[in-house]
Structure 1
Amino acid sequence: MTGALHGVVALDGPSGTGKTTVARRLAAELGAGYLDTGAMYRVVTLAVLQAGADPHDADAVVALARSVRLDVATDPDRPSVRLDGADVGESIRTPQVDAAVSAVSAVPEVRELLVQRQRTLIGDVAARGGGIVVDGRDIGTAVVPDAPLKVFLTASAAVRAARRGAQDTAAGREADQAAVLASVERRDRLDSSRAASPLRPADDAVEFDTSDLSIDQVLVALTELAGTRGLLDEDHEDVAEPCR
């Protein structure tokens, strides 16, 4: 084994850079917890859509964010997200959620609520003596600004759209490539220009362009980075069990 991770790896970047896949695999390989913060915003967005509320109605969105029960597992081998007890792992990846999630995640009160929850989940893993890989769009800048390793993944919009389209096709969802590219570019604009925690690399983040890199290549680079930052415990093979 390479070594067990301790501390937090903050992995940020726009959609389609491979950060969710990389974060989950990195956590699994390093015996760490894993948290997909983007899934949390998608769950709230799904709740908004299921309630028939307007994603741009901040008051309605905040009310739903406060009332729903959102459960996220931090085991990279068994990741799951639940809305009021129901598994919604597939439902939060639909085009309808894609189109509305930027509006929901731009509401400052929603971000405050979920950032508090994210910090609690991260703290629970740390209290067990384990490390955790957290992916999202504001991990290094807002959620865990003191993380010892911050990484910002990028890739061209065309490459990211192709990846997203392939994911949709593999999951049995229809994928119109032109529409997927337009959605990626729209999400980039919205996430980068929002007032609350806009998408941007932290000042001390290491930036990786993944356009021409495989997942395995990115994993090797991040593992090496974690090692140089002193985040890998080479002396212990027993890993603290992630909280669930």
Structure 2
Amino acid sequence: MTEKDRTAGAPSRQEEDTVAQANGRALVVAIDGPSGSGKSTISRRLATELDLAYLDTGAMYRAATWWCLRRGVDLTDVDGVAAVVRQMPLVMVTDPAAPRVVCDDVDITEAIRASELSAVVSRVATNLDVRAELGRLQREIIAAEAGRNGIVAEGRDITTVVAPDADVRLLLIADETARLARRAKELHGTADEATVARTRDEVVRRDADDSTVSTFMTAADGVVTVDSSAYGVEETFEAVLSVVEAARAGGR
């Protein structure tokens, strides 16, 4: 929101940030998990509930892939991809009510979810130099929002690499059957046998590829695991919220 969007008499962003810091409300929550675990849905809802910013770090890898394709870079060219990503003009809008991804002044929030891009994003996401660069950007965003009200950041290595000192660190998991059904319904609107089969490659292969550079199926020390296999959204959200509230009550 810009200053001109505010109603008369409403506090400025700077005033809100000062009050937030004075009240000790700044909070950093890191949530990792595999595809279909529900981490994006839960993270956005948690950020909304607690009035925090929201960062989908996976979207940053998708944006990097989109940018490389736009620039005509061969995704198998490790050095070339890394060089282009370092120059990527990326803006992450962290409003949980309307998170957006903007690159080169183009809103690519929807474009980066295309199946064609999903099929190749691991080529960029497993590039170690790209991970280092995007990790740097992620830490900058998290640090900036931590100086305000706080942030919920979700991805695959947030609890271990990007924000290991987060106030709350969670690993959200689910068994493969549940994850495939959720992703099929999300992408295709149904979870029948044929649709789940079509979704399997994207989910299982992507997790397998990314697991070569990140551990996100086993919780590191100090990370709380929430298994959502048998839970619906409401139950999962309540379980995650209870962990966060317990951490806040215990002085983090």
1:209 is aligned to 2:227: yes
- Residues paired across the two proteins, number: 225
1:161 is aligned to 2:180: yes
1:93 is aligned to 2:113: yes
Match of 2:129 among 106, 109, 133: 109
The 3-state SS of whatever aligns with 1:35 is strand
The 3-state SS of whatever aligns with 1:71 is strand
Distance 1:56 1:97, change over 3 A: same
> Is the 8 Å Cα contact of residues 75 and 123 (structure 2) preserved in structure 1?
yes
Counterpart residue number, 1:230: 248
Q: Tell me: higher relative CO, structure 1 or 2? Use CA pairs within 8 A at least 6 residues apart.
A: 1
**In 2, Cα distance between equivalents of 1:15 and 1:108:** 20
For 1:141, give the aligned amino acid: T
Counterpart residue number, 2:155: 136
Question: Which structure has the larger Rg?
Answer: 2
Counterpart residue number, 1:219: 237
The 3-state SS of whatever aligns with 2:211 is helix
1:199 is aligned to 2:219: no
Counterpart residue number, 1:16: 36
Percent of matched pairs sharing the same residue: 41
> Is the 8 Å Cα contact of residues 78 and 127 (structure 2) preserved in structure 1?
yes
Distance 1:215 1:4, change over 3 A: farther
> Is the 8 Å Cα contact of residues 5 and 132 (structure 1) preserved in structure 2?
no
Match of 1:190 among 183, 205, 209: 209
Counterpart residue number, 1:146: 165
**Can you list the C-alpha shifts for 1:162-182, whole angstroms capped at 9, x where unaligned?**
211211124xxxx94312112
TM (normalized to structure 1)?
Answer: 0.85
Q: How far apart are residue 188 of structure 1 and its match?
A: 1.5
Structure 1 residue runs of 5 or longer lacking an equivalent are 234-244
CA RMSD of aligned residues (A): 2.2
- Which sits farther off after the overlay, 224-233 or 138-147? 224-233
Match of 2:104 among 84, 94, 112: 84
The 3-state SS of whatever aligns with 1:76 is coil
Match of 1:68 among 88, 92, 100: 88
**In 1, Cα distance between equivalents of 2:206 and 2:102:** 24
> Is the 8 Å Cα contact of residues 6 and 231 (structure 1) preserved in structure 2?
no
The 3-state SS of whatever aligns with 1:111 is helix
